Amino acid sequence: MLISGKEIMQHAYENGYAIPAFNFANMENLQAIIQGAEEMNSPVIIQTSQGAIDYAGAEYLADIGLGAAHRANIPVVLHLDHGQKYEYCLKAIRLGWTSVMIDASQDTFSENVSKVKEIVKVARPLDIYVEAEIGIIGGKEDDLVSDKEIYTEVKDAVNFQRETMCDSLAIAVGTAHGVYKGEVKIDFTRIKEIRALLPVPLVLHGSSGVPLDMVTKAVHSGITKVNFDTELKLANLDALQRFLKENPGVYDIRKMFKPCRLAMKEVVKAKIAACMSTDKSWIIS
Ligand SMILES: [Zn+2]
């Protein structure tokens, strides 16, 4: 079933586990996420970036995303990931997304605050959950590129949430978007410090490539939502390359994408286990 972000995020926040969030851009991608979450009996956030919307069209993604959510036997949130433009956020809300991220983290503190406040003002009466970001997460996601990485300051996180009244907050604590270069280092102490002072759930972005035990440690430290994207793409690519190599001449896209969907589903299940959201779908009945 489709639900607002509030219900599952609050339950996870209070009970020490995290809601896994996976990006989708096509049907196989989406089916892998929903099937994986159903097999794990876990609530799940399916999310689309602005890039996915540009690729597939917002209306089309709404059709398949909402259709999948309504048919699923687990709680599903449809979320806009890294909405950088007001227009994308509003369009998503109008088309049925139940949660949006307004990401103005590359702007100054005060510009970020005012952009988030604008979305919160529209979203709150409509029961749409709002995620914001403070600090700069390194790496590349869609056309969002950061050469630098600026860890979130504890006092900034507290002031920012107090001023914007956002529902959840993405923080920069060492993870990176895209494919990791070098060793993963996460500032778990910073997560704990922010969590201790902040009254809303914290979100970890760029979690592909983070070893599963570190994901779990981040959740134990106070993370309530974990975003995964790149690893699903890599699983898809790997399965597709293997299939094409082993089956030259096959042109049936169903045969081609079946192993891809299966490979993505296995990644989804492993991430769900690391988030400790297995068997938590009962919270909404
Ligand atoms: Zn992100």
How far does residue 263's CA lie from ligand 1's centre (Å)? 22
How far does residue 254's CA lie from ligand 1's centre (Å)? 30
Q: Is residue 56 part of a domain?
A: yes
pTM (two decimals): 0.95
Q: Is residue 225 part of a domain?
A: yes
Q: How far is the C-alpha of 34 from the C-alpha of 271, rounded, in Å?
A: 13
Domain membership of residue 113 as a residue range? 5-229+267-283
Q: Is residue 251 part of a domain?
A: no
How far does residue 251's CA lie from ligand 1's centre (Å)? 34
CA distances for 114 relative to 5, 111, 160, angstroms: 22, 5, 10
Strand partners, 77: 45
Which candidate, 193, 83, 8, places its Cα nearest to that of 21? Answer: 8
Looking at residue 272, what is its pLDDT? 98
Q: Is residue 185 part of a domain?
A: yes
How far does residue 10's CA lie from ligand 1's centre (Å)? 21
Q: Please write the tens of the pLDDT for every residue from 54-77.
A: 999 999 999 999 999 999 999 999
Q: Is residue 258 part of a domain?
A: no
Looking at residue 284, what is its pLDDT? 59
Q: How far is the C-alpha of 77 from the C-alpha of 3, rounded, in Å?
A: 5
CATH number of the domain where residue 174 is located: 3.20.20.70
Looking at residue 183, what is its pLDDT? 82
Looking at residue 91, what is its pLDDT? 97
The ranges of the chain with pLDDT < 50 are none
Q: Is residue 124 part of a domain?
A: yes
The token pair that represents 216 in the structure block: 């779990």
Q: Is residue 33 part of a domain?
A: yes
Q: How far is the C-alpha of 34 from the C-alpha of 46, rounded, in Å?
A: 8
Active site residue 81: yes
Q: How many domains does the chain have?
A: 1
Looking at residue 285, what is its pLDDT? 52
Q: Is residue 244 part of a domain?
A: no
The residues, any chain, with a CB within 8 Å of residue 6's CB and separated by 6 or more, are: 127, 129, 167
Catalytically annotated residue among 81, 167, 187, 229: 81
